[in-house]
Chains A and B, each alone.
Chain A
Amino acid sequence: MSTERQSEWRLAYGSLDAPVVVEVRLPEALPVLNTIFPEDRAAAGDLPAGLVVERSGSDFELRQPGVGTWRDRDLWALLSRLELVIAGELVKNSGKRGIHAAGLVSPRGATLLSGPGGSGKSSLTAALALRGWPVLGDDVVLLGAGWVHPFRRLLKIEEPARTLLGLPEGKAALKVWHEASFYEPGTLGSEWAGPARVHAVVFPRRSAGSSPRLTPVNTAANLGRMLSGLVMVDRVEPEAFEEVASVVECARVFDLVYDETTLAADLLVAAFT
């Protein structure tokens, strides 16, 4: 995921030996993609495009050969899907398993924050990065051979979390892009983490008015919640089960109920330092 190559309309993401090549025939999509996947760029040369985005009559169209074609009148909805497809392809090309979870490295090892959209993974990631924890990812991390590996995309912080965390206005793809600001961990005083062993898995859940509360839960009984976060997996194969189990087998698992992100981050720092 360290190299991105670009010709005028052709973007190649990921490693040189397994790039994800996107033919982008929509000028307005380029700044969005360049913000979300901001790595170094070079000419994609004559690599065949695995994905094509273009205008189709009054609609916008995303084609993924061998997989399908999506049309939408809303460019931003289509770009949102494109973002997910590119991320999914990058995960697949990494040779590791992707799991929907934020990840940071505490002094005791990696802490995964696992939960659905809206549970506060990205905001907690930003708050913990501000407290110096190196970042593995704010939405997806990679699992391989018992380790958690980083999935480097800019941290995407939406309002009102950005204001509540006191973050400066970050790099914005376009104002309409989910009103999100994008941050490198370095801008938050942190850094990208290297591979780490998991120390804790936390399932955050927002509850209005709640003081942050961290409750230990049984690891085995909550394995299913982790498995449900595997990226691009309809059915969990035994190998995927083994991978997830081997990553979390020595981890402590907690439910985190909270309201204010900063207080929850303070609690996690106190608990895992």
Chain B
Amino acid sequence: MDLNPRFRPRARDDVVFRRVGEDWVLFDPITQEIHVLNLSAALVWTFCTGEHEIRSIEAEVAAAFGDVPEAGARDAVRTFAAAGLLVE
């Protein structure tokens, strides 16, 4: 799935996001699925408010994790979208 760099991903309000142990998790009450996130994906999720374009999220993640490729943020958003966790 190609993502427009100006796309502003917005998380579904009903998806639960919280820390469990050393990980961050998303719980989707519709699909009943639990998604375990690494730290950079968790950071991406916090920017999925509908206010931030993908390119700015990529920049934020790159600034926080200097050694992580910028495409990591885009991959995370793509994964969130594919799992139905974002508002369409």
- Compute how far the CA of A249 lies from the CA of B24 in the bound complex, rounded to whole angstroms: 10
- What count of chain B residues pass the 8 Å CB interface test? 15
Q: Please tell me if the beta carbons of A237 and B36 are within 8 angstroms of each other in the complex.
A: no
Selecting from A34-42, A43-51, A238-246, the interface stretch reads A238-246
- Compute how far the CA of A220 lies from the CA of B35 in the bound complex, rounded to whole angstroms: 9
Cβ-defined partner of A249 (8 Å) among B14, B16, B20, B32:
B20
Can you list 6 pairs linking A and B with CB atoms under 8 Å apart? A219-B23, A220-B21, A220-B36, A235-B32, A238-B14, A242-B16
- What count of chain A residues pass the 8 Å CB interface test? 19
Give the residue name and chain of the B residue nearest to A236 (CB): B32
Check if B39 is an interface residue, CB within 8 A of chain A.
no
Q: Please tell me if the beta carbons of A223 and B20 are within 8 angstroms of each other in the complex.
A: yes
Q: Please tell me if the beta carbons of A249 and B34 are within 8 angstroms of each other in the complex.
A: no
Cβ-defined partner of A245 (8 Å) among B22, B25, B29, B36:
B25
Shortest CB-to-CB span from B13 to chain A, Å, is 10
Given A238-B14, A242-B16, the answer on whether A249 and B29 have CB atoms closer than 8 Å is: no
Set of chain A residues within 8 Å of B27, measured between Cβ atoms: 236, 238, 241, 245
Set of chain A residues within 8 Å of B24, measured between Cβ atoms: 220
Cβ-defined partner of A221 (8 Å) among B14, B18, B19, B36:
B36
- Compute how far the CA of A237 lies from the CA of B27 in the bound complex, rounded to whole angstroms: 10
Q: Please tell me if the beta carbons of A220 and B23 are within 8 angstroms of each other in the complex.
A: yes
Given A223-B25, A242-B16, A249-B20, the answer on whether A218 and B36 have CB atoms closer than 8 Å is: yes
Cβ-defined partner of B25 (8 Å) among A220, A236, A250, A253:
A220
Q: Please tell me if the beta carbons of B36 and A238 are within 8 angstroms of each other in the complex.
A: no
Give the residue name and chain of the A residue nearest to B27 (CB): A241
Q: Please tell me if the beta carbons of A245 and B32 are within 8 angstroms of each other in the complex.
A: no
